């Protein structure tokens, strides 16, 4: 029903997206390069998939009227610049909370119970002793303290899951909870669930990382630059703490010193990577584009 509706509006996308909703944008133009090699007059809607959209890119799209960002996080889009030019931005919140929370728990379990190190030991034929040897001893989740930095939709889903595992959950958020430094000093596991903004960039600084308890675990499924990555690498190389990291400062580059460390579990930004969730994100994005095309209010405009 929608193909004809979109006919008059020129839509360009930096990447094809998964899920059935995608087919509802039939007149779409897939861009071969980003930024485009030359200006694209006439393009009114940009489907932006993990690409920078700032003044330079916007200059190449002089007729742009909507940026539809794939992802709940929209830190790659210069929203202020878009606002200045009267271009609304949408994102895809609300459908990936469970998937991200699941991966957060997976990383907590992997780190606290040495799952990846143990898997490697078996595969490499290094399992030589019976089970009652004091090796690969982890820590119980039950009875340990989880400190959540951010208690929005994703943080709350993580809290629910952690409580089901018997963890004691504390949190820090703008409107209350434990002061951040106190949370870092007391938690066995700290997990980050704040968006990347000017306020949160570098929030977990070198000084704050030093507050983490010996033997504690930092989980990051939010954004790499919320943490001072160089300082984190130093902490991990020292072996004082462990970490489960799904995000990095300069993806897809992962700091080389981390690659050989047993006390860090590394995943390539897969927190939302389930068939169901990625399709649901596409659904939200497409619904925003269709609303725009029909002159209806946007479903999930970014407002900041
Ligand atoms: C997002 O939507 O911002 C997530 O990082 C995707 O996993």
What residues form DSSP beta bridges with 89? Answer: 67
Q: Is the CB of 96 under 6 A from ligand 1?
A: yes
**pLDDT at residue 6, rounded to an integer:** 58
Q: Is the CB of 73 under 6 A from ligand 1?
A: yes
Distance 68 CA to ligand 1 centre (A): 14
Q: Which atom of ligand 1 is nearest to the CA of 271?
A: 7
Cβ atoms of residues 174 and 135 within 8 Å:
no
**pLDDT at residue 4, rounded to an integer:** 43
Q: What is the 3-state secondary structure (H, E, C) of the chain?
A: CCHHHHCCCCEEECCCCCCHHHHHCCCCEECCCCCCCCCCCCCCEEEECCCCECHHHHHCCCCCCEEEECCCCCCCECHHHHHHCCCCEECCCCCCHHHHHHHHHHHHHHHHCCHHHHHHHHHCCCCCCCCCCCCCCCCCCCCCEEEEECCCHHHHHHHHHHHHCCCEEEEEECCEECCHHHHHHHCCEEEECCCCCCCCCCCECHHHHCCCCCCCEEEECCCHHHECHHHHHHHHHHCCCEEEECCCCECCECCHHHCCCCCEEECCCCCCCCHHHHHHHHHHHHHHHHHHHCCCCCCCECCC
For ligand 1, atom 4: residue with the closest CA: 71
Q: Which atom of ligand 1 is nearest to the CA of 272?
A: 7
Q: Is the CB of 35 under 6 A from ligand 1?
A: no
CA distance 113 to 107: 10
Distance 272 CA to ligand 1 centre (A): 6
Domain ranges for the chain, please list them.
3-94+275-293, 97-266
Q: Which atom of ligand 1 is nearest to the CA of 223?
A: 5
Residues belonging to the active site: 223, 251, 269
Tokens for 45? 């809607």
User: What is this structure's pTM?
Assistant: 0.95
Q: Is the CB of 93 under 6 A from ligand 1?
A: no
Pairing of strands 176-177, 168-173: antiparallel
Distance 72 CA to ligand 1 centre (A): 5
**pLDDT at residue 27, rounded to an integer:** 81
Provide the residue-wise pLDDT of the chain in tens; the chain has 304 residues: 344 455 689 999 999 999 999 999 978 999 999 999 999 999 999 999 999 999 999 999 999 999 999 999 999 999 999 999 999 999 999 999 999 999 999 999 999 999 999 999 999 999 999 898 878 999 999 999 999 999 999 999 999 999 999 999 999 999 999 999 999 999 999 999 999 999 999 999 999 999 999 999 999 999 999 999 999 999 999 999 999 999 999 999 999 999 999 999 999 999 999 999 999 999 999 999 999 999 999 999 998 5
CATH superfamily placement of domain 3-94+275-293: NAD(P)-binding Rossmann-like Domain (3.40.50.720)
Pairing of strands 145-149, 264-266: unpaired
Mutate which of 71, 77, 106, 284 to test ligand 1's pocket (most atoms within 8 Å of Cβ)?
A: 71
**Domain 97-266 grouped into CATH 3.40.50.720:** yes
**pLDDT at residue 3, rounded to an integer:** 42
Cβ atoms of residues 155 and 148 within 8 Å:
yes
Q: Which atom of ligand 1 is nearest to the CA of 92?
A: 2
């Amino acid at each position: 029903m929608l193909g004809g509706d979109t006919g008059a509006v020129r839509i360009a996308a930096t990447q094809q997206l998964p899920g059935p909703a995608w087919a509802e944008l039939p007149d779409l133009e897939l861009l071969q390069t980003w930024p485009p090699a030359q200006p694209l007059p006439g393009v009114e809607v940009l489907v932006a998939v993990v690409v920078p959209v700032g003044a330079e890119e916007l200059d190449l799209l002089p007729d742009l009227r909507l940026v539809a960002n794939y992802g709940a996080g929209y830190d790659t889009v210069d929203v202020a610049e878009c606002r200045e030019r009267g271009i609304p931005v949408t994102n895809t919140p609300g459908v990936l909370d469970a998937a991200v929370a699941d991966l957060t728990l997976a990383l907590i379990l992997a780190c606290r119970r040495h799952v990846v190190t143990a898997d490697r030991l078996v595969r490499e034929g290094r399992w030589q002793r019976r089970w009652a040897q004091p090796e690969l001893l982890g820590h119980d989740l039950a009875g340990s303290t989880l400190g959540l930095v951010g208690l929005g939709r994703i943080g709350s889903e993580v809290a629910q899951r952690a409580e089901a595992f018997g963890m004691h959950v504390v949190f820090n958020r703008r409107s209350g909870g434990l002061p951040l430094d106190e949370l870092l000093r007391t938690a066995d596991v700290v997990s980050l669930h704040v968006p990347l903004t000017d306020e949160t960039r570098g929030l977990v600084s070198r000084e704050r990382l030093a507050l983490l308890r010996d033997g504690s675990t930092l989980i990051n499924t939010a954004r790499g630059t919320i943490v001072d990555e160089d300082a984190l690498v130093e902490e991990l190389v020292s072996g004082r703490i462990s970490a489960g990291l799904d995000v990095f400062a300069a993806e897809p580059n992962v700091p080389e010193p981390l690659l050989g460390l047993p006390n860090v579990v590394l995943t390539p930004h897969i927190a939302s990577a389930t068939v169901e969730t990625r399709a649901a994100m596409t659904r939200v994005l497409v619904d925003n584009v269709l609303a725009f095309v029909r002159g209806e209010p946007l479903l999930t405009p970014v407002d900041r």
